[in-house]
């Protein structure tokens, strides 16, 4: 069983996304002992039971028997008492939030009334679960790991709830959905982003997404993505020996000339000048350190 606590300097966050996970675990086909089979929770935890030797999960929640096929999810709230119905090995993943974010989850309509749900394993949910597993093993190699796992866990929770409702979660306020879309882009900016699909994912029309994004961020989504790519390119200039041409190409530029132009507009200096000033650059651009 792998357990992580995403806190401290190693998991420092670079965004202000409010739903910051406080604990994670990956349980590959583990058999629980008798002492572990009854637990009273003191935090808000989402556990996805993905597989078992048994066809049905037969746990008790606050004394009430629950029987659901695998895979399923249980939302564990403070004070809830869960007794495992059998000792068969289970494959599961889970993440928890501190108590202070429960009000935020409630305001975002992300506290389901049912404590126990069957999971419809959509392609997106499967992708996010795979990302979770990968993070648990390779987190030490991930840039901004705190932000990354916050985004993955929020995506898992949101996909579960969207799938349960079978309609886009338009109950979130527009600014909250924009914040979620920003968190998504922070970790997918280097992929081939389809903005129409992104807008639909977060419950917006094409024009509504642009209007709410620009009102909240003061720029367009494309300008925001371009800024993320330039920031990542700047970090590579400072912390790698790759050529400027290869960094420009990786950032999506057709050549060094447009890369130089956009880079200077953004940072006030050329890529070569930034690299030359590397030893003292953290004072001027702390986000690149």
> Do both 197 and 234 map to the same domain?
no
Please determine, for residue 204, whether its predicted confidence score (pLDDT) is greater than 60: yes
d(CA 48, CA 75): 9
* Segments in 53-114 forming alpha helices (H): 102-107
pLDDT at 182: 84
Tell whether 245 is covered by a domain.
yes
Query: Is 146 in contact with 8 (CB distance < 8 Å)?
Result: no
Query: Is 247 in contact with 263 (CB distance < 8 Å)?
Result: no
CA distances (Å), 38 to each of 44, 85, 281, in order? 17, 10, 53
pLDDT digits (tens, 9 = 90+) for 107-121: 887 888 778 888 888
> Do both 241 and 271 map to the same domain?
yes
CATH number of the domain encompassing residue 141 = 2.60.120
Q: Domain tally for the chain?
A: 3
Tell whether 203 is covered by a domain.
yes
Tell whether 251 is covered by a domain.
yes
Tell whether 267 is covered by a domain.
yes
- Tell me the range of 68-72, 84-88, 276-280, 284-288 where mean pLDDT is highest: 68-72
> Do both 49 and 121 map to the same domain?
yes
Tell whether 39 is covered by a domain.
yes
pLDDT at 135: 92
> Do both 115 and 7 map to the same domain?
yes
Among candidate residues 157, 192, 218, the one where a domain is terminated: 218
Q: Is the pTM of this model over 0.75?
A: no
> Do both 28 and 110 map to the same domain?
yes
Residue 106's CB: how many other CB atoms inside 10 A?
10
Q: Is 30 helix (H, G, I), strand (E, B) or coil?
A: strand
Over residues 74-98, the mean pLDDT reads 84
> Do both 125 and 227 map to the same domain?
no
Please determine, for residue 165, whether its predicted confidence score (pLDDT) is greater than 50: no
> Do both 9 and 126 map to the same domain?
yes
> Do both 130 and 59 map to the same domain?
yes
d(CA 25, CA 234): 34
User: Which residue shows structure tokens 């890369």?
Assistant: 259
pLDDT digits (tens, 9 = 90+) for 121-158: 888 999 999 999 999 998 888 888 888 999 999 999 98
pLDDT at 61: 77
Tell whether 252 is covered by a domain.
yes
pLDDT at 24: 93
Tell whether 212 is covered by a domain.
yes
CATH number of the domain encompassing residue 247 = 1.10.10.60
d(CA 201, CA 154): 13
Tell whether 118 is covered by a domain.
yes
- CA 98 to chain CA centroid, Å, is 16
Among candidate residues 218, 245, 273, the one where a domain is terminated: 218
Instruction: Supply the DSSP string of 125-143, one letter for each residue.
Output: HHHHHHHHHHHHHHGGGSS
> Do both 73 and 191 map to the same domain?
no
- Tell me what percent of the chain is helix, strand and coil, each rounded to the nearest 5: 50, 15, 35
pLDDT at 93: 94
pLDDT digits (tens, 9 = 90+) for 58-74: 777 777 667 778 888 98
Confidence bin at 245 (pLDDT 50/70/90): very high
Q: Which two tokens stand for residue 192?
A: 């081939």
> Do both 211 and 258 map to the same domain?
no
pLDDT digits (tens, 9 = 90+) for 37-57: 566 667 889 999 998 887 777
d(CA 247, CA 249): 5
Among candidate residues 130, 146, 162, the one where a domain is terminated: 146
> Do both 203 and 228 map to the same domain?
no
Residue 276's CB: how many other CB atoms inside 10 A?
12
Give the domain extent around 9. Answer: 2-146
Please give the DSSP secondary-structure letter assigned to residue 208.
H
> Do both 142 and 7 map to the same domain?
yes
d(CA 4, CA 112): 25
């Amino acid at each position: 069983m792998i357990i992580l606590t995403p806190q401290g300097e190693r998991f420092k966050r670079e965004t202000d996304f409010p739903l910051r996970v406080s604990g994670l675990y990956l349980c590959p086909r583990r058999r629980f002992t008798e002492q572990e089979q009854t637990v009273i929770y003191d935090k808000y935890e989402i556990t996805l039971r993905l597989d078992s030797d048994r066809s049905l999960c037969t746990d008790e929640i606050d004394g009430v028997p629950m029987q659901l096929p695998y895979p399923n999810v249980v939302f564990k709230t403070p004070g809830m008492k869960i007794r495992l119905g059998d000792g068969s090995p289970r494959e599961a993943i889970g993440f928890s939030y501190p108590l202070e974010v429960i009000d935020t989850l409630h305001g975002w309509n992300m506290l389901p009334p049912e404590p126990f749900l069957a999971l419809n394993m959509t392609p997106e949910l499967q992708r996010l679960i795979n990302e979770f597993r990968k993070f648990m093993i390779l987190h030490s190699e991930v840039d901004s790991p705190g932000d990354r796992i916050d985004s993955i866990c929020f995506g898992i929770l949101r996909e579960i709830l969207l799938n349960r409702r079978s309609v886009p979660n338009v109950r979130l306020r527009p600014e909250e959905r924009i914040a979620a879309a920003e968190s998504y882009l922070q970790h997918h900016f280097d992929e081939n982003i389809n903005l129409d699909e992104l807008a639909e994912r977060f419950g917006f029309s094409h024009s509504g997404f642009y209007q709410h994004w620009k009102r909240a961020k003061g720029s367009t989504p494309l300008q925001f993505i371009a800024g993320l790519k330039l920031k990542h390119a700047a970090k590579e200039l400072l912390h790698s020996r790759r050529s400027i041409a290869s960094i420009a190409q990786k950032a999506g530029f057709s050549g060094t000339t447009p890369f130089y132009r956009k880079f200077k507009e953004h940072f006030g200096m050329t890529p070569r000048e930034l690299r030359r000033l590397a030893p003292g650059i953290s004072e001027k651009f702390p986000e690149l350190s």
